[in-house]
Chain A
Amino acid sequence: MHIPDGFLTAPVSIAAWAASAGSVGYAVRRVNHELGERQVPLMGVTAAFIFAAQMMNFAVIGGTSGHLLGGALASILLGPWAAMLVLSSVITIQALLFQDGGLLAMGANIFNMAVIGVLVGWVTYTSLQRLLRGRFAPVAHTAGAFLAGWLSIVVSAMLAAGELVLSGTLPAAVALPAMGGWHVLIGVGEGLITVGVLAFLRLVRPDLLTVHNSAGGAES
């Protein structure tokens, strides 16, 4: 859901730029305190994987496609602040080098996907780890990752719809159900890929799943 230039009015674009610049600035400061030795290469690898995965559109029904955004995945792997920097970098490169997503609209794209998408994924995942204890603990990782991926897509899409409404591009009665409807489906793909990647990592390198919990941690 990379918004191109032309869909949003200047005031909406500028407000979104201000919101995302403030958020990313805050994320840089938080990351300064938390970044461990192994988190730096993990940030690079996560960003590279998310960029490649975003090129892999998968078909949903009715001649529409979606692709992984990766905000939930990055936040589970890296914590929310490093994940925001990773997603912002991906969106910036996509707009500057690949003309995917507008330049004026880049603030909105960063805000929707890199700031709010990451936060929603992070809060959903960590909340479910706390909620699903005891009897449900075995499914907490899977349920948490799926719901984090799904919800991050749906909320990002609703934000994008809201920006289209504020810009007068579409009336709310059209934008919200149309964007919501497609992204409820695309979110299922996001959830499944998020679960799959984390399950694969848990199998081959479970230590990488806790890198952000042990920032400054020992080199293996």
Chain B
Amino acid sequence: MSWLKKNWWIAGLLVALVVALLSPLASQHPDGLERVAEDQGFSQKAEESPLRVLPDYKSPGIADQRLATIVSGLLGVTIIFVLVYTLGRWTRRRQRAIGPTAATAPQAEHEQRLASPPPEPESEKR
């Protein structure tokens, strides 16, 4: 437990992977926009994407539809996590690289805010 508390982001990632595992349970009904497109008779206007990587969240080459959905869900969760984490690290590195000009003024403000007791959630912040 304490290990998970310290590595909370691993726990969060596990939650996302579990949701992906449950994805075959998702409703197969059309979503709001698809429903409107069907009702109003313009759903045939939808063009197939020129890309065919994992269309409709189904990994190709897996016969079982539920398994195909699970595999592409797990892949997607992993790819998204790595991509956004890298993007975040990259913007942070840029933030440091900017150095004492642009980045430090708000940084100092944050440190000042940290030194004071944590603000009450209902207090005016912006």
Contact = CB atoms under 8 A, between A and B. Distances in A.
Q: Is the interface of B mostly helix, strand, loop or mixed?
A: helix
Interface string A15-37: 00000000000001001111111
Contacts of A130: 122, 124
Contact of B33 (A1, A55, A82): A1
B71 interface: no
A49 to B, nearest CB: 4
A1 B83 CA distance: 23
B50 interface: yes
Nearest to A215: B110
Given A5-B47, A67-B26, A218-B114, A93 B80 contact: yes
Contacts of B55: 98-99
B32 A44 contact: no
Contacts of A99: 48-49, 51-56
B80 A1 contact: no
Q: Is the interface of A mostly helix, strand, loop or mixed?
A: helix
Range of interface residues on B (Cβ < 8 Å): 35 or more
B25 to A, nearest CB: 8
Contacts of A93: 76, 79-80, 83
Contact of A7 (B45, B77, B102): B45
B88 A43 contact: yes
Nearest to B24: A55
Given A34-B106, A97-B76, A103-B49, A64 B95 contact: no
**Which of A2, A89, A157, A208 is the most central at the interface, judged by chain B CB atoms within 10 Å of its CB?**
A89
A10 interface: no
Counting from the closest, the 6 A-B pairs by CB-CB distance are: A45-B12, A40-B88, A44-B85, A52-B19, A6-B47, A182-B32
Interface of B: 5-6, 8-9, 12-13, 15-17, 19-20, 22-23, 25-33, 35-37, 39-40, 42, 45-57, 69, 72-73, 76-85, 87-89, 91-92, 94-95, 98, 102-103, 106-107, 110-111, 113-114, 118-119, 121-122, 124-126
Interface of A: 1-7, 28, 31-37, 39-49, 51-53, 55-59, 63-67, 82, 85-86, 89-90, 93-100, 102-103, 126, 129-130, 132-133, 137, 140-141, 157, 160, 169-170, 174-175, 178-179, 182-183, 186, 205, 208, 210, 213-218, 220
25 contacts: A5-B46, A6-B46, A41-B85, A41-B88, A44-B84, A47-B80, A48-B77, A51-B77, A51-B80, A52-B19, A52-B23, A56-B22, A57-B29, A64-B29, A64-B35, A65-B28, A96-B53, A98-B54, A98-B55, A100-B56, A100-B57, A103-B50, A169-B42, A178-B36, A214-B110
